[in-house]
Amino acid sequence: MTIRLDHDRLTDTMQEQAEFGKTPEGGLHRVALSNADMEVRDWFVDQLQDLDLHIRIDKMGNIFGRRPGTNTSAPPILAGSHLDSQPNGGIFDGALGVVAVLELLRTLDEENIRTAHPIEIVNWTNEEGTRFQPGLQGSGVWTGEFDLEQQYACEDGSGTQFEEELDRIGYKGEEPVEPAEDYESYYELHIEQGPYLEQTQNDVGIVTGVVARSWGEVTFYGQANHAGSTPMHLRADASVSAAEFLLYVRKIVNTINEKTVGTVGSISLSPNSINIIPSTGTVTWDVRDPDDNSIQAAVSDLRAEVRAISRREGTEYDIEETTRTNSVKFTNGCTEKIQQSAADLGYDFLHMLSGGNHDASHLAEVCDTGMVFAVSKDGKSHSPEEHTSWDDCYRAANTLANAIVATATE
């Protein structure tokens, strides 16, 4: 059985959700637990009620809506993503994954299709992690990776507590934040946020896993001095060490693995004045690779190079790896279902790894998990320029829908 979603209604529903937190540039500013997040949640709950789903809201504000199965002993299939956005972000990131499941449930009702397994839609709280850190917060607590009380206590930049804000918007639910039973599998559709699908002219991506990641920070300490009267050979310039580190990050990724990527997103110098030799320079790193061992090798190389850089310039340093996330492998069963679905629908597909983390990374710890990627125009994301054509939204949503139905009717 191959089902087809309603192309126009999928588009309409995507546009409908994009009204909550809409920006003048056509993007979305719907940061977790903001008023816009509250409004889109209210809208989402209305949609679930219209479908007569069994709605549960847990203590982290994760919202679940279950469509019962015909076999009372068959474990449920969970599917969804997140409705929060980056500050001044785009309308597809997260939302497409929630809307696609909503459309699947509507289509199943319209076509009177019953499934053996229950199908449950989910909107995870605070995937983005820009206002409250860390990201993937709702799914992190639900899967037991994060501690509820710790997340409740975290504060945004103005000192407002997560728990307080969750309560304020009316989404501090009653349900415990954990799977109350075994789940058959978890499916998530997300935009790629990278350029591979577009460049290889594929319709959908079948995500086989998530790459490993290391985040860290180095601070070099030099000697602040007058830019005019300090001879070059007597300098210990923290900015020079910082720049050498930055360019080394750029280079090592080419020596570790063809899939390794490395970024220095942030630098800060002090005193940061045009005519004073900088006394401190702080540089971050973000290195990712499909293989955990490659990340280990990259971090070792970075540490060795920081020693060499500081010796050359006469600076001192502190280095700290702040986060290490191991790679995730999605389950073959789910991946195969998604591939079969794409093939049945006649779509061109690409097996690929995700360079970014998603709620599915947490879910893979508790049940079989699979992910579908939709094409991202020019690979752009986290900005109003983020774009996925309605046809590409439709193809990815159909692929997801048929993989879920195949699993649910087994």
Identify which of residues 69 and 194 has a Cβ nearer to a second copy in the complex.
Answer: 194
- Pairwise CA distance, residues 407 & 337, whole Å: 7
β-bridge pairing 119-123 and 77-81 = parallel
Identify which of residues 9 and 380 has a Cβ nearer to a second copy in the complex.
Answer: 380
Say if residues 406 and 337 touch (Cβ distance below 8 Å).
yes
Identify which of residues 163 and 244 has a Cβ nearer to a second copy in the complex.
Answer: 244
- At closest approach, how far in Å is the CB of 193 from a second copy? 5
- At closest approach, how far in Å is the CB of 272 from a second copy? 5
- At closest approach, how far in Å is the CB of 222 from a second copy? 11
- Helix ranges (H only) for 257-389 are 292-313, 332-345, 359-363
- Helix ranges (H only) for 119-273 are 137-142, 148-153, 162-168, 196-199, 238-256
Contact footprint for a second copy (CB under 8 A) = 192-196, 199, 211, 213, 215, 224-232, 234, 237, 239-240, 242-244, 246-247, 250, 253-254, 261-269, 271-278, 284, 286, 288, 354-357, 379-383
Judged by DSSP in three states, 397 sits in helix
The residue written with tokens 């001095």 in the block is 225
- At closest approach, how far in Å is the CB of 264 from a second copy? 5
Identify which of residues 71 and 88 has a Cβ nearer to a second copy in the complex.
Answer: 88
- Pairwise CA distance, residues 120 & 101, whole Å: 9
- At closest approach, how far in Å is the CB of 260 from a second copy? 8
> Dihedral sign, CA of 283, 303, 353, 5?
negative
- At closest approach, how far in Å is the CB of 328 from a second copy? 13
Number of neighbours of residue 236 by Cβ within 10 angstroms: 21
Identify which of residues 120 and 244 has a Cβ nearer to a second copy in the complex.
Answer: 244
Instruction: Using alpha carbons, select from 122, 111, 104, 135 the residue that is nearest to residue 31.
Output: 135
Identify which of residues 247 and 308 has a Cβ nearer to a second copy in the complex.
Answer: 247
